Amino acid sequence: MKKIAFFIFGIYLTTILNCTKIAEQQEVEKPNILFLFTDDHAKNALSIYNDKLIQTPNIDRIGKEGMVFNNAFVTNSLCGPSRATILTGKYSHLNGFMKNGDRFDGAQPTFPKLLQSAGYQTSIVGKWHLGTTPTGFDYYNVLRGQGSYYNPLLIENGDTVIHQGHVTDIITDLSINYLKDSISDKPFCMMVQYKAPHRNWMPHPRYFDDFADDLPIPETFYDDYNTRSEAAEKSDMRIADMFLSMDMKLMPDAFGEDNETGGLADFNPAKNWENNINRMSPEQLNKWMTYYGPINEFYKNNIDNWSEKELAEWKYQRYMKDYLRCVKSVDDNIGRILKYLEENDLLENTLIVYSSDQGFYLGEHGWYDKRFMYEESFGTPMVMRYPDKIKAGSVSEEMVMNLDLAATFLEIAGAPVPDDMQGKSMLPLFSDPGKSDWRDAVYYHYYANVGWHSVQRHEGVRTKTHKLINFYDLDAWELYDLENDQQELNNISGKTEFVKMEDALKNKLHALRKEYKLPNKN
């Protein structure tokens, strides 16, 4: 009898040990999560989407060895609101961050907090821009406010430190150092969030010689907006109107004493530019002026002979070259991070995601900046790599959103996804990129219509074939056939032959407002 009892006890003990071992293995095998994020990176400035402007081999590698999402969109094309949506998996009206200048409620549930509860070590390095102290992170080292390109201030777990160098390099250095020094046996979730390529596009001197040749002018650069509502005409984001100081990098003596007000009582672009210059060390400033000094002289020597068109196209070249140089720096630095992961056996068990807080205009429609629901700013780059679940070379045409990232990270970590999260986990798309029952429409809402750029408030719905936008303060609608009018030049709202389509989209808009718990009034 005792032998039987000992035998049964032995089986029981072995079972317990095996279960413990399996549980430990499962814990070890949880994937790390690396979220690489930029500010204002247009899909057209990423060569896996469009190779006409720039080559981005390192970001491309993530997509080529994983999945490219050709139809990734944002809920609200603005820096802070996009970041709040990613953290919470909720639209702006529910997470409380509707426009820049709001303050993020750090007490609410976020995916980093939920990953902490699931045994993850969480960290964020780089741009935060949400107005309050980061919560849900074991470690944070974030830029103060918008951050500076040269010699920026970063707040490391409450302590403010000035770092010497260029911000893109610094964020990468800090991220790699944290991985070297602080990663434990726990799986990690790290958010590496670059400032670049946000305005005012101040590249590192090592990129000054890149993009020496003139870039092609976009087909829609001289768009006259003649079929649209007055929202496009009311906006203030034309490249032709860019500031000579902070945007074009001209010193005051190149264009006379500053008379640029920016249309804002509390903002002086020349003073902003002076503050950026004053951050530089003598060595940095010398390199800067060695390159930009001749550009200043070129402007002074030619401006009296230029037409408005010639000046606009000169501004376009100046803007675009600095923008692309900032993107090139990000790509090179992401290459450094990928190399570190590879050399330390972290590459294969890490879900790597690259995206941006929204898209950006690179001269399309004569614009820079974002905000509108048109494709260039509504769409955002998104590529993912995780060999265990994503086949290399995968491409998804399904409509995904920044809203979906939180649920995706939680599910892949084996953590429960809260019922009130409004996004969907993208894991089903990893194995079935063209999943037929994914979603048939996405909803968008932009709330800030004063101050910067004067873009009117609007909401809208996009399907795979059409887009309906409601500029509700203007009582104006715009409808686009995305199959036959990819550049959205022909607003067909109100035309007899499209009445049924427009009514159907208005019904869909109403249904999505209800689904996402929008208030009855805007």
**Domain map of the chain by residue range?**
11-15+20-202+327-426, 205-319
What is the pLDDT averaged over residues 395-413? 98
Q: How confident is the model at residue 477 (pLDDT cuts 50, 70, 90)?
A: very high
| pLDDT at position 262 | 54
Residue 7 pLDDT exceeds 80: no
Higher pLDDT, 244 or 264: 244
Q: How confident is the model at residue 255 (pLDDT cuts 50, 70, 90)?
A: confident
- Determine the Cα–Cα distance for residues 150 and 156; give it in Å rounded to an integer: 18
Q: How confident is the model at residue 436 (pLDDT cuts 50, 70, 90)?
A: confident
| pLDDT at position 28 | 47
Q: How confident is the model at residue 13 (pLDDT cuts 50, 70, 90)?
A: very low
Residue 21 pLDDT exceeds 60: no
Cβ distance 482 to 461 under 8 Å? no
pLDDT tens track for 82-104: 999 999 999 999 999 999 999 99
| pLDDT at position 252 | 83
Residue 522 pLDDT exceeds 80: no
Calculate the CA dihedral of residues 299, 305, 307, 308 and round it to 10 degrees.
Answer: 40
Residue 25 pLDDT exceeds 90: no
Is residue 152 within a helix (H) or strand (E), and if so which, with residue range?
none
CATH code, residues 11-15+20-202+327-426: 3.40.720.10
- Determine the Cα–Cα distance for residues 350 and 355; give it in Å rounded to an integer: 16
pTM of the model: 0.93
Calculate the CA dihedral of residues 272, 276, 277, 278 and round it to 10 degrees.
Answer: 100
Q: How far is CA 275 from the centre of its chain?
A: 26
Q: Go through 35-55 and write b for each residue having 16 or more CB atoms within 10 A of its CB, e for each that does not.
A: bbbbbbbbbbbbbbbeeebbe
| pLDDT at position 15 | 44
